[in-house]
Structure 1
Amino acid sequence: MSNPIYLALDVPRLREGMDLAQKVKGHVGGIKLGLEFFCAHGAHGVHMIGQLGLPIFLDLKLHDIPNTVAGAMQAIHMLEPSIVTVHASGGRAMLEDAKAAAGEHTRVVGVTMLTSMDERDLQRTGIGGTAHDHVMRLAELAHDAGLDGIVCSGHEVKAVHNQWKDGFFVVPGLRPAGGAAGDQKRVVTPRQARDDGASVLVIGRPISRAADPAQAAREIEATL
C-alpha cells in the first residue's frame, strides 16, 4: 500500500463528503465510511464516494449473532468494500461466519478496543486487566478465527504486530504532533503508528476540519 492514510469521512451531507474527498483524494490511500455516513446515505452514498476511485473501508463494526452478521456481510457484497469491521468481542463463531461470508477481495478486521475508551471504561463494563491485555486476547481470537487483522490503538499495534507478523492492522485515533486529542484517550502520531506496524492509518478531524484539508493531508503524508 503506497499511502496508508484513510480519511474518515463521517459527514451528514453527501455533497459535503464528496467535495471533501475530491479535495484530498491525491493525498490519501482510501476513504473510511462509518456508521454516521452509512445510516445517513446508505448504499447510494457508498457508490457515490466509490466513484472517486479510492478503496472504500466500511467501518460498520458489525456485532450480532453469527447468522445475522453473515447476512449483513453478504448484503454489502455489491459495494465491494476493501475493508469491513466487526467487533472481535462477538466471539469466534461470529468472526468465522463474517469472514466466510465476506467478498473475495474484502479484508475483515476485528475491532478490539475503541480508542475513546481507557482501562477505567473497561472496568466499568466488567472487564479486568489492562487495555494491552484485552487487546492482545482479542487479537489472538481474531487470528484463530481466520480474520485478516484487527483494529487497535497505536499503543498496542507494535505488540500485536510482533505476534502476528502477516496481520493487517488498522489504527484509528491518530493525531499529528501537537494536535488536540478531542474525545480520543489513547492517541499516537501517524508516523509512530506506521513505524510500529500499522497497515492503515485512519485520520478524520485533523484533515476534515482543517482550514485547508488538502494541505493538512499533504503534511501528514509527508511525515510518513
Structure 2
Amino acid sequence: MAKDVIIALDFPNGRDALSFLENFKEEEVFVKVGMELFYKEGPEIVRKIKKLGHKIFLDLKIHDIPNTCAGATRSLLSLDVDMINYHAAGTGKMLNEASKLIKESNKEVISLAVTMLTSTDEDTMHDEIKIDKDLVLEDVVLSYAKLSKNSGLSGIVCSALEVPKIKEALGEEFITVTPGIRKDKNNSDDQKRVVTPKDARKLGSDYIVVGRPITKAENPLNAYREIKEEFLGGK
C-alpha cells in the first residue's frame, strides 16, 4: 500500500493556496482542501490544483441524511478528487449510499469516515458529546471504524495513536489517515492527540496530514521533504 504525506492547505483563499503551491513545482504532492478554502473558492480551486498535477483530499466531512449525502458524493466525484470523507456518526445507511455511488463510478477514490476528531479528547467525548462514560475513546473509534468498513469505505480518519488497534481488528489494507502530526509533540496548537511523523510510521499510519509544520515553514519544500523522509523511514 502506498504511503504518503498530505499537506493541509489551510489557507483563507485560493490566492494564498496557489501561491504556496509555487514551492512545489518540482514534484507532485498530495494536498488537503478543507472547508475554509473550499467554502471560500468553491469547486474552481479543486480544478486549478488538479491542473497543477497534484492529488487532492477533499476534506468536507459530509454528514447528512442518506439521500443528501449521495447527492453530495455525486457532485464531488465530478471534480475528480482522489480522497473524500464522511462523518461515521452519520450512520451505516448514509455511508452505504456514498460507498455504493463511489463503486459505481469506477473512479479510484479513497473514501474515508471521520471517527473522532483529533481535537477531541476523552473528557470532551463524555461531557459534551455525551457518549457513555463506560466507553473509552479507543473503543468508540474502533466501533466507528468497523461500521465504516462494513459500509464499504476504504478506511478512516483517526489519530495515529489508534492505528495499531484499528489494523489489528480490521486488517492492514484498511486505510488509516492521521492528522495531528507535529515535528515536536510539545507544539500541539489546537490538537489534543498528536504524534511525530516517526511515531506515525511506527504506529502504522498509511497517510499523515500535516499543515502548519509545512505551510508555516521558512522553506516549505524542505520541511515537506524532511517530514516525508521521516515518515517513510529515512530517519
- Fold shared, TM-score > 0.5 on shorter chain: yes
Name the counterpart of 2:137. 131
Deviation at 1:111, TM superposition (A): 0.2
Evaluate the alpha carbon distance shift between residue 74 and residue 126 of structure 1 in structure 2; reply closer, same or farther with a 3 A threshold.
Answer: same
Q: Deviation string for 1:177-220 (max 9, x for gaps)?
A: 35610000001111221222211110001100112211211221
TM-score by length of structure 1 reads: 0.94
Name the counterpart of 2:215. 208
The counterpart of 1:146, out of the listed 139, 144, 152, is 152
TM-score by length of structure 2 reads: 0.90
Name the counterpart of 2:194. 187
Deviation at 1:2, TM superposition (A): 5.5
Name the counterpart of 2:85. 85
Within-5 A mapping of 1:152-167: 152-165=158-171, 166-167=173-174
Q: Deviation string for 1:7-29 (max 9, x for gaps)?
A: 00021121211121231465674
Deviation at 1:130, TM superposition (A): 1.2
Name the counterpart of 2:117. 114
Number of matched pairs = 224
Alpha-carbon distance in 2 for matches of 1:211, 1:11: 16
Confirm whether residue 9 of structure 1 aligns to residue 9 of structure 2: yes
Q: Secondary structure at the match of 2:164?
A: helix
CA contact (8 A) 1:115 1:186 kept: yes
Name the counterpart of 2:23. 23
CA contact (8 A) 1:7 1:28 kept: no
* % same residue: 38
Confirm whether residue 196 of structure 1 aligns to residue 203 of structure 2: yes
Corresponding letter in the other structure for 2:115: T
Evaluate the alpha carbon distance shift between residue 100 and residue 2 of structure 1 in structure 2; reply closer, same or farther with a 3 A threshold.
Answer: closer
Q: Deviation string for 1:109-130 (max 9, x for gaps)?
A: 0000000010111012111221
CA contact (8 A) 1:3 1:28 kept: no
Confirm whether residue 217 of structure 1 aligns to residue 224 of structure 2: yes
Q: Deviation string for 1:124-159 (max 9, x for gaps)?
A: 211122111110110011111111100000110111
Alpha-carbon distance in 2 for matches of 1:195, 1:4: 14
CA contact (8 A) 2:185 2:194 kept: no
- Can you give the 5+ residue segments of structure 1 that lack an aligned partner in the other structure? none
RMSD: 1.6
Evaluate the alpha carbon distance shift between residue 109 and residue 65 of structure 1 in structure 2; reply closer, same or farther with a 3 A threshold.
Answer: same
